C-alpha cells in the first residue's frame, strides 16, 4: 500500500537557498526538455529516418550530454532534480496522448517551485531528512511510518514555506473480519456532520470565518502595482490566509475521519455529486424582453456553493477511502438516488417532498418525529447493515436511538456552535 507523509521543514538560510536552486534547476530542465521534445518531434514528422522519436529517456540522455558544457551550474544540486523533472514530462506526454490531460506547458517561476529526490539518494531518521549536497535538515514532526520503505521525497514550496512529501510503501493492511458489530451511518451537511449514534460534528466553516480578512487582503493586493515588492508582500499575505483556511478544514476532517475509522467496523456515506451540487445556475433568456435574463437566484446559489465547498464533502470521502482499508474497516457508499432523508427510519415510508429548509418532520405513516440529518444517518446505517449481511454474514439489528437532537446527544465543537434546529411543521 502506497502512502505519503507530508511534513513542513525547518530550514536555515543556507538550506532554503539550496532548495530554491534545486527547484529552479528542476524547472529549467523541464522547460528545456519540453522545448527539445517539440523540436525533435517536428523533425521526426518531416523525416522519420533522420532521428528517433523523442521520449523521456532520450531527453535525459541529451541533457546529460549537454549540461557539463552548457549548464555547469546544474552540478551544484542533486542530479535527481533535473532527471525526475524530465520523467514528469514523460508522464505528462503519456497523459496527453491517452486523452487524460492537456498538452504540457512551460513552467513559470513561483508556480512549480519543487523538485524530487528518488530512492537511494535520501534518508529519513526520526524528525530528520538527509538530502544530497545539503545534508540533514529538520522536519517539524517525526516520520509516521519508520518501518515503511521510502520511494521518493518531493520538496515543494507553498505559502512561503518548504514541505517534504515522503512517498513510501506500507505493509498490506489487515483483512476485514467476517463478523462486524459496529456499523455507523454518516450524513454530511454544511453546518454539521451527523452520525447514526446521535453525534453531531460541527463544521468549523473556516472560509466563512476568514472571508472578511480575505476580502480586505485581496483589496489591498489589487491596489498594488503588479510585480512590485509591496505586491509580492500582499500576495504572500493572501496566500497565507488561504493556507490557514485549508489547514483548518483539513485538520478537522482528519480528526473526524480518524475518529470514525477507529471506532467502527462498517461506515456508510452517500455518493454525492459535489461537482453538480456546486454548479452555477444556467442563465435563462427572457422571451418577453430580448437581451435580458430571468431571475435565477445566482447570488443565493453562490452562497450555498461556498458553504458546500467549505464543508469538504469530497475530501471527507477521500480520506475515508484510504483510511478504512488501513484499519480493516469496510466503507459502504450508498447509491446516489437512495432517499436517505425522505424515508422514515422506523417504518420505511417515503415522503414525496421534503424541502431543504425543513429540519424536522413527522412521518405520515407512523407519526414518528424525525430530525432530518439524524434520520438520514440512521437510514444509511441500515443500508450498510443490509450490505454487510449479504457480504459478511451476521450483523445485529440497528435500533433507533432513544435520544432526540436537543436531549443528550453529543456535540463535537470545532470552532463554531451547532445551530439550533427550529420546528417547521
Same domain, 35 and 128: yes
Same domain, 102 and 130: yes
All 3 cell numbers of residue 265? Answer: 467496523
Same domain, 157 and 247: no
In angstroms, the CA 46 to CA 412 distance is 66
Query: Helices 206-222 and 229-263 meet at what angle, rounded to 10?
Result: 170
Same domain, 32 and 112: yes
**Widest CA span of the chain, in angstroms?**
84
Contacts of 208 (CB under 8 A, 6+ apart): 306, 307, 310
Same domain, 196 and 332: yes
User: How do the pLDDT tens digits run along the chain, 425 residues long?
Assistant: 888 999 999 999 999 999 999 999 999 999 999 999 999 998 888 888 877 889 999 999 999 999 989 999 999 999 999 999 999 999 999 999 999 999 999 999 887 799 999 999 999 999 999 999 999 999 999 998 888 899 999 999 988 889 999 999 988 766 555 455 788 999 999 999 999 888 899 999 999 999 999 999 999 999 999 989 999 999 999 999 999 999 999 999 999 999 999 888 899 999 998 888 888 888 888 888 888 887 887 878 888 889 999 999 999 999 999 898 888 888 999 988 888 888 888 887 787 777 777 788 788 778 788 888 888 888 898 888 876 544 443 333 333 333 333 333 333 334 333 333 333 33
Q: Are 378 and 196 in contact (CB under 8 A)?
A: yes
Q: Is residue 421 part of a domain?
A: no
Q: Is residue 176 part of a domain?
A: no
Question: Using CA atoms in the order 60, 65, 67, 72, what is the torsion angle rounded to 10 degrees?
Answer: 140
In angstroms, the CA 400 to CA 198 distance is 10
Q: What is the pLDDT of residues 48-69, one digit of tens each?
A: 887 788 999 999 999 999 998 9
Q: Is the pTM of this model over 0.95?
A: no
User: Which of 105, 134, 169 is where one domain is finished?
Assistant: 169
Domain count, the chain: 2
Same domain, 152 and 199: no
Instruction: Provide the residue range defining the domain that includes 42.
Output: 2-169
Q: Is residue 375 part of a domain?
A: yes
pLDDT at 147: 87
Same domain, 357 and 231: yes
Q: Is residue 178 part of a domain?
A: no
Same domain, 163 and 192: no
User: Which of 135, 169, 203 is where one domain is finished?
Assistant: 169
Same domain, 153 and 231: no
User: Which of 102, 137, 169 is where one domain is finished?
Assistant: 169
Task: Give the residue numbers annotated as catalytic, written as ranges.
Answer: 187, 270, 373
Q: Is residue 193 part of a domain?
A: yes
- State the Cα angle at 376 between 374 and 377, rounded to 5°: 65
Strands (E), 149-280: 149-158, 161-169, 183-187, 192-195, 199-202, 266-270
Amino acid at each position: 500500500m502506497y502512502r505519503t507523509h507530508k511534513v513542513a521543514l525547518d530550514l536555515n538560510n543556507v538550506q532554503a537557498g539550496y532548495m530554491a536552486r534545486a527547484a529552479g534547476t528542476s524547472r529549467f530542465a523541464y522547460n528545456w526538455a519540453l522545448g527539445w521534445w517539440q523540436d525533435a518531434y517536428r523533425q521526426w514528422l518531416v523525416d522519420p529516418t533522420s532521428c528517433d522519436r523523442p521520449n523521456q529517456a532520450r531527453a535525459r540522455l541529451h541533457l546529460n550530454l549537454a549540461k557539463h558544457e552548457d549548464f555547469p551550474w546544474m552540478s551544484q544540486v542533486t542530479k535527481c532534480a533535473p532527471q525526475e523533472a524530465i520523467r514528469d514530462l514523460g508522464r505528462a506526454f503519456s497523459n496527453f496522448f491517452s486523452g487524460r490531460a492537456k498538452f504540457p506547458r512551460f513552467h513559470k517561476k513561483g508556480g512549480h517551485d519543487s523538485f524530487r529526490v528518488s530512492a537511494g539518494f535520501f534518508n529519513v531518521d526520526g524528525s530528520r531528512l538527509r538530502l544530497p549536497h545539503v545534508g540533514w535538515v529538520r522536519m517539524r514532526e517525526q516520520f509516521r511510518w519508520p518501518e515503511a520503505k521510502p520511494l521518493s521525497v518531493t520538496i515543494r514550496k507553498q505559502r512561503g514555506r518548504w514541505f517534504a512529501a515522503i512517498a513510501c510503501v506500507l505493509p498490506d493492511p489487515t483483512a476485514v473480519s467476517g463478523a462486524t458489530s459496529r456499523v455507523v451511518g454518516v450524513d454530511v451537511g454544511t453546518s454539521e456532520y451527523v452520525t447514526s449514534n446521535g453525534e453531531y460534528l460541527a463544521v468549523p466553516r473556516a472560509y466563512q470565518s476568514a472571508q472578511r480578512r480575505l476580502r480586505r487582503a485581496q483589496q489591498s493586493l489589487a491596489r498594488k502595482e503588479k510585480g512590485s515588492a509591496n505586491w509580492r508582500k500582499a500576495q504572500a499575505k493572501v496566500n497565507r490566509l488561504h493556507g490557514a483556511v485549508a489547514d483548518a478544514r483539513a485538520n478537522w476532517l482528519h480528526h473526524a475521519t480518524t475518529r470514525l475509522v477507529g471506532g467502527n467496523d462498517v461506515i456508510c456515506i452517500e455518493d454525492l455529486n459535489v461537482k453538480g451540487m456546486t454548479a452555477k445556475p444556467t442563465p435563462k433568456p427572457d422571451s418577453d424582453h430580448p437581451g435580458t435574463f430571468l431571475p435565477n437566484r445566482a447570488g443565493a446559489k453562490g452562497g450555498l456553493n461556498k458553504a458546500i465547498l467549505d464543508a469538504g464533502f469530497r475530501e471527507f470521502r477521500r480520506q475515508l477511502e484510504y483510511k478504512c482499508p488501513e484499519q480493516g474497516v469496510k466503507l459502504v457508499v450508498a447509491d446516489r438516488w437512495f432517499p436517505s432523508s425522505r424515508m422514515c427510519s422506523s417504518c420505511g415510508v417515503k415522503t414525496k417532498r421534503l424541502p431543504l429548509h425543513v429540519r424536522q418532520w413527522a412521518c405520515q405513516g407512523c407519526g414518528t418525529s424525525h430530525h432530518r440529518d439524524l434520520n438520514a444517518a440512521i437510514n444509511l446505517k441500515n443500508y450498510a447493515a443490509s450490505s454487510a449481511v449479504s457480504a459478511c454474514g451476521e450483523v445485529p439489528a440497528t435500533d433507533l436511538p432513544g435520544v432526540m437532537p436537543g436531549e443528550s446527544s453529543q456535540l463535537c465543537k470545532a470552532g463554531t456552535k451547532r445551530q439550533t434546529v427550529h420546528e417547521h411543521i
